[in-house]
Chain A
């Protein structure tokens, strides 16, 4: 029987709160002396990274091998070595962990690498400016970093995909801060990162907009440490006073003098938070837990320790053990506190009686009947808080026992907790070494836990857990496939090329089969193929890529592999125009122009989309290329249209005419396009004529660029009617159109005599009704009347009315003897005066 949970509890605040220190792993001798190293720990039970602190002298002995080069060692919480990195770049200023357990290493030149647990890395830079200034220090949080440059400005990097660093507001300080910390963006109110710098007596809080002096007078602070929820701040004064304030510096939460702590020797090593309500201060061999009311607990260790803040406690690595210190969760207190009379404690007690076949069990259950549901829930919760499977099982059994007395109970919580505990116990196993609490597990989410396992190459366990939790196996399978490709060697030993193909085939088949059998339907084959390609397995990559349904993933890799035609075809098939552009722009840069064009043209109708998009793009951005493209494909019409578009934009008359002529030539090369050629010929002639016209009027009037009709109109309006006639005959303008133009032009300049003369010049091809209507339209009713008489007889009445000549209309009626029409007029006439006149006319009709 494992020892009772309460044995590790220690009371605080008059025994109203308990803290417990649980030894998760016993690791004597596994870790080197932490005092000699710079350490960075990863949250959520993650590994720690160690680098020798070059500022310290160490004794040479067997335990610490002599290292000439900078090395970073990574250990799991259980003290197992995971990784050893050699660093050959500039001096490391800081390293830390990302949220997904990658190690970030930043050097003084502003270059940072992200190592995964297999030792593969991506490298990014903070930019050349940062490189020149040099990086002095940095703070790395889960989703980004803030670097302090040589000129004491701050650079922020958001996310871990190589984003461009942003410059934060300049704090304007002249010497490096005594200490500083960063509150990650997801914990601040503004949702942007906030930097706290301890300068002189005070603290500056800096974000990307401004730098605010908090006007404190107690500084300098040797340690600045924000709580896991970003709401409070633990500050250690140089006097040794520990001061806890809210991050907005409005409320002082607690103060505690660490100066007189017994057993504290030397400098304070770390100030870390234990959950959100207690602070752990460590010295070389002492860890002191300060509660919210200044109560303390202390533990002694054999040597230097390293504390890693977790959201619900603190993990403490010491030479002998990996401990987890936390506030005892409410449910555990409720069940196990000595003398507890809470329903859950009674339920647990009843179950123990039951197993001992004591009749008290029934009595106890009866007594808590109304609260039984809550008691069951609390037991389940308490089970989740226990480290020992023995106690987990007992608590779950108690819950199960209590459940039997409930009529309606949703077992989902019970089942979920059982599953979660099974998973947690598995990953806490020292071989795996992830000491995750239930609270952390719910925060981290099961899928990230699986990602962490795969990152350690624990595919089998990850797969089993994901199927146990009925999660999709995709992520695990993808990682597995990549790992498999890297491990497998093309079996090219001796038998030449064929054997190599076989090897690729086998790997590809085994991967595909695995995916099919495990239902990893949405795994991106492109990712895997990319890894294969990066590993130099081009054949394998091509084979894998065939299984990729998403063109957007397929195409970039195909391009990299120089499978140009295939890439273009796939892009076109996907219908994603952006992807097509991606391929086109890429190929245009890489291929000789001729080859590029041929590739598109040979595609025929299949690649029509690509061809069209190229034209759209080139029309705006690269007209010379478009000209070449049309020329190489003998597309005369398009070439001509291109010329015309350019001509339209031109201002210089001569250039415009030349361009139009070029277009004309293109058209005339195509015998189907004789009409267009003729039109362009006319167009060029017109432009030349207009140029001449402008010269003739000394530029007083502008003709250039007008249409034929407009040119005629302008001529007429400016009294050059001879020229107008000439243009009419030159351009074979139809009589009808000419008459309309002249009618409109003369009306607009109120040349009614000219109009009259024109109307008489010959029989109007457009009739005279048009004259009447146009004149009336333009408000010249009086002039219009004259033309009514020349119109068709049966329309005259209405036209007179249109002109407002009611009497004439009536007379017309009379002349034609149309009595009904006259009656109609009388009814619709506007005033009584006219009505009377009409009546008279009607009367006279007899």
Chain B
């Protein structure tokens, strides 16, 4: 009975994809937002009086997610400027710099101070470093001779909630820093952020991870707990709400981000680019039509967004993609793009029906009811407009030759079908002058899947690449080939290659079978989204499969959704087994990699599985492992941390996994949202478009 009520509730209440009962045990990540905001306010208030804020452009996006300009103004910020070379003229005595500890910022700041000194302007300088103090910056300021003039403090900005189940450090360069520069600062910062999380919710009872850097992070976390403040009571108890932390390091699964994402949100990121949850959209999509107060039939038809071609040329404005103000987005974001049209159609019809209700309003009371609903309808209407327009912009992009060709190559490569032909196809794409990042993605994909590309062929392609796009990309090619990244390798490897590179060869073909990466029957796909592979139209992300190896073991081997139909019949007979009427299986306890040890071991990189000791626990208490084996009564959350970033599709896939079980939700934590292009571009040192505009202000 309860189950039918729940399903009917979810059916009638289409705006939220999850029934309310499940939201009860979701971790409330908005606390993190509060913490971040309060930290900023405190940091600003430590400087008395009106102040000029000078902001690191790369922080504007993340800050925009936690605060708004009004709040800053309220706390004495008079004017804001980007931190950029050139003179700075401030009207207030106090100047507050807010930036990440990067050398170039320090140099600009030093330049400002020296310039002011020359012009004999008197200012008080405060530098807020994110997320913590840095010896390096101090040193550079000292070298420049301005350390004495500036007060250095820190503003500890850690996880920022992007959605109610996604938190991110919003560090765009994490991948490059780790795997190209070898700068492990991100790991340390992640460790601190995760410890903050533990401080809020208690210790993760178990830490499971895959990948060398994941292992390093896990070990750092374990080492740092006893050193922290012993009076912190939550760090002395195992978390009630969280059952484990799964750390996936990006190198463990390089294939997934290289593929083109095919969910709605993923595709928007690929095609238009989402930065800190903000996307640049044409103005006309964002502003409601001129006469929104007359929802008659004529108005609703005139409200149709202008055709895609004109949209592309229009002036752009940043728009915050969030479920909070846009319930429709919650329904759309994780859909495969092929299903988006249908969904939009449905919603359009529903809204139309709702509008029509007013004709049935006979009495004044009924009319009043209708007017009451009108506001909600209009918001929905507006978001429908937005997403229809956005999809219309995407459609032509998905129809281009390059796009389809690259999808075809990707699918063939994933199936290991005739790899030499695919490589020739990639070569053709270079000849046609296709986008450099797309070509490189395909090339790396081919190299990983085939275990390297024939040396002669590779050399040819590299030559073509350099001639077509410029010799200045040679360092990029070298970076891609160098360990520990090593995603673009010749085959066979030359004699001199270090052992580590040889060991990092990726066993894709075996994984494909063992982890059921490719859906055998892709035709099914259009009908039901019955496996995580829907996000790539038939390929299941390895990273998410690995998470399933820990948190939903059944899901790796077979389709839980397909099985559901079979089991549906005898479910009532075996209530004790925890098969509920909804057909969803009770989540099993976390037992580490058990059952998949071989598969996991075959992937390069260390595997970790640590049961955290509770510092205060007595010997007589239940050994933690044993206590963990008991199925939990309470629903729990599994935190999945992507070290080096994750894609929107992976988030979508994890949400899907979360829906398959009862009693387990996933909280996705990541160093940032990445896509294949953002990875390649960050290695190449290309800055992504937005954030460089001169206009100052948060998004």
Residues of A at the B interface (CB closer than 8 Å) are 164, 166, 190-192, 207-209, 472, 521-522, 549-550, 575-579, 581-582, 585, 608-609, 611-613, 615-617, 620-621, 637, 641, 644-645, 647-648, 660, 672, 675-676, 679-680, 682-683, 686, 705-710, 731, 733-734, 736-737, 739-741, 744, 766, 770, 773
Contact = CB atoms under 8 A, between A and B. Distances in A.
A644 B464 contact: no
A537 to B, nearest CB: 25
A733 B140 contact: no
B375 interface: no
Nearest to B229: A522
Given A620-B103, A679-B471, A707-B467, A578 B227 contact: no
A545 B135 CA distance: 22
A734 B461 CA distance: 11
Nearest to A739: B431
Given A549-B226, A575-B216, A707 B468 contact: yes
A641 B140 contact: no
A585 B188 contact: no
Contact of A679 (B140, B428, B474): B474
B102 to A, nearest CB: 8
Interface stretch (B28-36, B176-184, B266-274, B597-605): B176-184
Interface of B: 45, 48-49, 102-104, 124, 132-136, 139-140, 143, 148, 151, 181-185, 187-188, 191, 216, 220, 226-227, 230, 401, 427-428, 430-433, 459, 462-464, 466-472, 474-475, 478, 494, 496
A620 B185 contact: no
A41 B646 CA distance: 61
B227 A581 contact: no
B463 A679 contact: yes
Contact of B474 (A207, A611, A644): A644
A575 B494 CA distance: 33
A794 B181 CA distance: 52
A612 B134 contact: no
B181 A616 contact: yes
Among all A-B residue pairs, the 8 with the closest Cβ atoms: A612-B182, A683-B471, A707-B470, A708-B467, A737-B431, A620-B103, A577-B185, A582-B135
A706 B148 contact: no
A741 B494 CA distance: 34
Nearest to A744: B433
B135 A676 contact: no
B135 A734 contact: no
Given A549-B226, A680-B471, A733-B467, A641 B478 contact: yes
B469 A672 contact: no
B468 A709 contact: yes
B508 to A, nearest CB: 26
B171 to A, nearest CB: 13
A769 B625 CA distance: 65
Given A549-B226, A577-B185, A620 B104 contact: yes
A28 B536 CA distance: 91
Contact of B133 (A578, A645, A675): A578
Nearest to B230: A522
A611 B183 CA distance: 10
Main secondary structure of the interface of A (DSSP, over half): helix
Contact of A585 (B124, B136, B183, B184): B136
B613 to A, nearest CB: 14
A617 B466 contact: no
Nearest to B500: A605
15 contacts: A549-B227, A550-B227, A578-B135, A579-B135, A585-B135, A609-B184, A612-B182, A612-B183, A615-B181, A615-B182, A644-B474, A683-B474, A709-B433, A710-B470, A766-B428
A575 B187 contact: yes
A436 B48 CA distance: 36
A766 B134 CA distance: 56
Contacts of A616: 181-183
B194 to A, nearest CB: 13
B187 A209 contact: no
A209 B48 contact: yes
B401 A676 contact: no
Contact of A209 (B45, B49, B184, B430): B49
A190 B48 CA distance: 9
Nearest to A585: B139
Given A578-B136, A615-B181, A707-B469, A676 B230 contact: no
Contacts of A683: 466, 471, 474
Given A585-B136, A644-B474, A740-B431, 11 more contacts: A190-B48, A521-B230, A575-B191, A577-B185, A578-B134, A615-B181, A637-B478, A641-B478, A660-B471, A683-B466, A736-B428
Given A616-B183, A708-B467, A644 B48 contact: no
Contact of A164 (B148, B459, B472): B148
B183 A577 contact: yes
The listed residue with most A CB atoms (<10 A of its CB), out of B139, B191, B464, is B139
A81 B431 CA distance: 92
A501 B252 CA distance: 51
A579 B459 CA distance: 42
A577 B466 CA distance: 35
Contacts of B183: 577, 612-613, 616
A699 B185 CA distance: 47
B571 to A, nearest CB: 47
A288 to B, nearest CB: 39
B184 A575 contact: yes
A205 to B, nearest CB: 15
Nearest to B149: A164
Contact of A734 (B139, B227, B464): B464
B471 A578 contact: no
B459 A208 contact: no
A644 B139 contact: no
B274 to A, nearest CB: 27
A737 B226 CA distance: 61
A608 B182 contact: yes
B471 A707 contact: yes
